[in-house]
Amino acid sequence: MPAFLSWMLVASALGFIKVMALAKLMPPASFGNYGTVLGVAILSATLLSAGKVEGTIKFYPRLWVAGDLAGTRQHAVGVAGTLTWRFALVVGLLCLAATLFDIGYSPWVFLIGGLLGFANALATVMASLIRATGSARLLQSFSFRRAAIALPLSCGLGVTAGWTGALVGDAVATALTLVTCARAVGRHFPAGEGPTPTDHGGGVRLYIATLFSSTTGLADRAIVNLALGPAAAGAYGVIALMVQVGQLTSNIVAQRVGPAVIKAFHSGEGRGTGLRTLVVPCTGLVALAVLLIGAMLAMWRFDLPPGFLSDYGIGPMAIWLGGALVALQIFSLMEFLLIARDQERYILLAGGVAAGAFFALFGLAAFMHWPVEAFIAAAVKARGLHVALLIVLTRRATHRIAAGGGSDGRA
């Protein structure tokens, strides 16, 4: 576990360095456009999945426990095929629309964004396969390669070709990682004949819930861009760098803890797993938030790198709010406790309420033309509500199972 944690933290650090370098190398407006299109592209990976990808999070670990490795491979190939035609259709229509009408971005941008979204969707399926195996070595290799390839590619192309070049670098890095890791992952899932297994484990509910969460975490910069312009979206994107560190750290823990919890519940050995398992991760995220706040405040106070934060107009209030968002990234790990209990409906409920609060608060801030800090505060309030609801609903699900109420795995 210490080696796994170290490698995953290195991968996270490389990702953070990449985005920080792009924020420094690009003008604020260009970085704002980069963050906006990147967020929408990653969101498209969820949007066009329609539950296919989200269902693999729980489905593949359960197939692994059941020993259906060939079926897992067949299912993954089927999902990849479905994603291929969906992205080809949607990206083709968007490129055609951009050719015929002035919609703000060129067909080239939609093509790049579509390829990046498609690559990220396939990467999520690949990650589900790797998590099902329980191989820490494969998981850390996949994450490290992706970050290590993206750093030079995205920064190099970002300097030479602007923000669209940086997006190309991200897409190529993800594609190369998939190709280089495919053989190693395939060894764990031999080809075989037979019917492709069907997931009936709440994938649709999890998809909608993930769409809610993804929208609030990825469309935020697009909303700020529309309301205040690309320079303000760039400032919001710099604060999002702090949040990204919290997301990556939470995801690192979830990569190991989440599938283990799912397997334990499926085999009937994990009934005692509850919110107490999150005490250490939550404490760690709070400590990380404090460290990041301190580091960012030091950067602001001593103007390091020179002119960086001042160019984006970022002050202490935005930094403190960004730190609060870091600690609240625990929500992604909390959701695994409900997935293991077949309570995707609770994840959907919490995500829906939080998304409603997010759009209401962001809409108000946009209507009033409030500064960037107001949008960050809105994100904090919405995510805080999300975490609070997940705590309440996880306790309810735990008590229900303990009382013999069973689970609800219907989609």
Q: Which residue shows structure tokens 């692994």?
A: 64
Q: What pLDDT sits at residue 403?
A: 67
Q: How confident is the model at residue 2 (pLDDT cuts 50, 70, 90)?
A: low
Residue 17 scores a pLDDT above 50: yes
Residue 227 has pLDDT above 80, yes or no: yes
Assess whether pLDDT exceeds 50 at residue 178: yes
Q: How buried is residue 310: exposed, middle or buried, by Cβ count under 10 Å (0-12/13-18/19+)?
A: exposed
Q: For residues 140 and 4, is the Cβ–Cβ distance under 8 A? A: yes
Residue 164 reports pLDDT greater than 90: yes
Which of 90, 128, 375, 137 has the alpha carbon at shortest distance from 238? 375
Question: Between these two residues, 136 and 72, which has the higher pLDDT value?
Answer: 72
Q: What is the rounded CA–CA span in Å between residue 411 and residue 404? A: 21
More confident of the two residues 344 and 150: 150
Question: Are 236 and 224 in contact, with CB atoms under 8 Å apart?
Answer: yes
∠ CA 255-138-264, rounded to 5°: 45
From 41, 14, 38, 44, select the one nearest 26 (Cα to Cα): 38
| Residue pair 41/113 in contact by the 8 Å Cβ criterion | yes
pLDDT at 267: 63
The CA distance from 326 to 336, in Å, is 19
Please give the model's pTM, rounded to 2 decimal places: 0.74
Q: Which residues contact 288 (CB under 8 A, 6 or more apart)?
A: 245, 246, 249, 326, 327
Question: Which of 54, 69, 62, 49 has its CA nearest to residue 340?
Answer: 62
The amino acid at residue 175 is: A
Per-residue pLDDT at 106 exceeds 60 = yes
Average pLDDT on 122-143 reads 86
Q: Which 8-state DSSP code applies to residue 197?
A: P
Q: What is the pLDDT of residues 243-270, one digit of tens each?
A: 878 887 777 777 667 767 777 676 666 5
Please determine, for residue 371, whether its predicted confidence score (pLDDT) is greater than 80: yes
| pLDDT at res. 408 | 45
pLDDT in tens, 203-216: 677 778 777 777 77
Contact between residue 1 and residue 127 where contact means Cβ atoms under 8 Å apart: no
Instruction: Choose among 312, 125, 153: nearest CA to 235.
Output: 312
* 32 closest CA partner among 262, 231, 309, 303: 231
DSSP string, 111-175: HHHHHHHHHHHHHHHHHHHHHHHT-HHHHHHHHHHHHHHHHHHHHHHHHHHHHHHHHHHHHHHHH
Average pLDDT over every residue of 287-307: 89
pLDDT in tens, 60-76: 888 888 888 888 998 89
Tokens of 7: 């490698």
Query: Could you read off the pLDDT of 324-357 as tens digits, one per residue?
Result: 999 998 888 888 888 877 788 898 899 999 999 9
**% of the chain with per-residue pLDDT over 70:** 90
Cα–Cα distance between 260 and 399 in angstroms, integer?
A: 21
Mean pLDDT of the chain: 84
